[in-house]
A and B are shown apart, each in its own frame.
Chain A
Amino acid sequence: RKEVEQDPGPFNVPEGATVAFNCTYSNSASQSFFWYRQDCRKEPKLLMSVYSSGNEDGRFTAQLNRASQYISLLIRDSKLSDSATYLCVVRTHTGGFKTIFGAGTRLFVKA
Chain B
Amino acid sequence: DTEVTQTPKHLVMGMTNKKSLKCEQHMGHRAMYWYKQKAKKPPELMFVYSYEKLSINESVPSRFSPECPNSSLLNLHLHALQPEDSALYLCASSQIAGNPKFRVWGNEQFFGPGTRLTVL
State the A residues within 8 Å of B (CB).
Answer: 31-32, 34, 41-46, 49, 87, 91, 93-99, 101-104
Question: Across the interface, do B42 and A46 meet the contact criterion of CB distance under 8 Å?
Answer: no
Question: Across the interface, do B42 and A101 meet the contact criterion of CB distance under 8 Å?
Answer: yes
Question: Across the interface, do B105 and A34 meet the contact criterion of CB distance under 8 Å?
Answer: no
State the B residues within 8 Å of A (CB).
Answer: 33, 41-45, 48, 55-56, 88, 90, 97-100, 103, 105-114
Contacts of B41 in A (CB 8 A): 103
Considering the complex, give the chain B residue whose CB is closest to the CB of A42.
B113
Question: Across the interface, do B98 and A46 meet the contact criterion of CB distance under 8 Å?
Answer: no
Query: What are 7 A-B pairs at a CB distance below 8 A?
Result: A43-B112, A44-B111, A93-B105, A97-B100, A98-B45, A101-B44, A103-B42
Question: Across the interface, do A99 and B45 meet the contact criterion of CB distance under 8 Å?
Answer: yes
Q: How far is the CB of B94 from chain A (nearest CB, A)?
A: 10
Contacts of B113 in A (CB 8 A): 42-43
Question: Across the interface, do B100 and A91 meet the contact criterion of CB distance under 8 Å?
Answer: no
Question: Across the interface, do A93 and B98 meet the contact criterion of CB distance under 8 Å?
Answer: yes
From A87, A91, A101, give the contact of B98 (CB < 8 A). Answer: A91
Question: Across the interface, do B111 and A97 meet the contact criterion of CB distance under 8 Å?
Answer: no
Contacts of A99 in B (CB 8 A): 33, 45, 106, 109
> With A and B bound together, what is the CA distance between A79 and B103 in angstroms?
39
Given that A43-B114, A96-B100, A97-B100 are contacting pairs, would A49 and B108 also be in contact in the complex, using a CB cutoff of 8 Å? Answer: yes
Considering the complex, give the chain B residue whose CB is closest to the CB of A102.
B42
Question: Across the interface, do B108 and A34 meet the contact criterion of CB distance under 8 Å?
Answer: yes
Question: Across the interface, do B108 and A97 meet the contact criterion of CB distance under 8 Å?
Answer: no
From B55, B103, B114, give the contact of A97 (CB < 8 A). Answer: B55
> With A and B bound together, what is the CA distance between A101 and B41 in angstroms?
9
From A32, A45, A95, give the contact of B111 (CB < 8 A). Answer: A45
Contacts of A43 in B (CB 8 A): 90, 111-114
> With A and B bound together, what is the CA distance between A32 and B104 in angstroms?
11
Question: Across the interface, do A31 and B111 meet the contact criterion of CB distance under 8 Å?
Answer: no
Considering the complex, give the chain A residue whose CB is closest to the CB of B104.
A93
